Amino acid sequence: MSKPSLRIQQALPRDAIGTRATPQRVVRLAPCLLAALPFLLVAASCTNPQDDFNAYVTRAKASSSSGSDSSVGPVDANLPEGGFDNKNWVLACESQLGPSVADALLFSANVQFTPSAAGGGTLTLTTQSLKSGATNINSPIAGTSLGPTKTTIAANGTGTVNIGAFTLVAAANAVTMTDAVLANVTFAVQITSATQICASLAGNVTSPIPVTLDPASNPCILRATDSTGTWVPFMQSDFHCP
């Protein structure tokens, strides 16, 4: 007696209404899926650097009431263990009224960071305005000194420097070439190394015309200079936070 033959049916996927798909139907669908694959990969890899910067600014600005925000970023990711004390720094701020490196507001700066055993520390900042287009910090404008201002820095390197009101003199104002009175000025800072701090400026211009300074449109960089007081020229790409 011959044994009955054993038939093996290959399982095929079913379509949306439950009908088993045929091999020919699967083959016809494959090119469509392959054609769509590059678009799916591109969509998954898109990022927006401006959104990343705006998110940082929002988090840093939220720390203004306490001077720091310990919820932002990895703990002690960039804080120099021994701190630093350097009188040769330059502060450059792009302005929303003249958003280019050539229009950047320039200040000489004395920057000191004293770490705390519990994490974070204290940042002490003193600045003086520089003439528009300056290439070193050796000739600050007399009568424009601000500070020293002490700011609590969280363990993640962030804090808010409260400057308050000051007058940006015409010689330092590359945007309008006139005196500008500012109020409620703050810098949301993030220490990225012993030689560089990124920041954003917020506040109000009260004269000659009222303007609200949007921190997302007024990025700043604090950078240590060389021993002669000269700094590496700024590029547009420098004005961002990690």
Q: Is the dihedral of CA 119, 124, 129, 130 positive or negative?
A: negative
**Strand, helix or coil at 11?**
coil
Would you list the domain boundaries of the chain? Answer: 49-230
**Strand, helix or coil at 167?**
strand
pLDDT value for 77 = 54
Query: Where residue 175 falls among pLDDT bands split at 50, 70, 90?
Result: confident
Instruction: Report the C-alpha gap between 108 and 129 in whole angstroms.
Output: 6
pLDDT digits (tens, 9 = 90+) for 199-234: 999 999 999 999 999 999 999 999 999 999 999 888
User: Cβ(101)–Cβ(235) under 8 Å?
Assistant: yes
User: pTM of the entire structure?
Assistant: 0.68
pLDDT digits (tens, 9 = 90+) for 25-83: 444 444 443 444 333 333 334 445 445 445 544 444 443 333 333 333 444 456 888 89
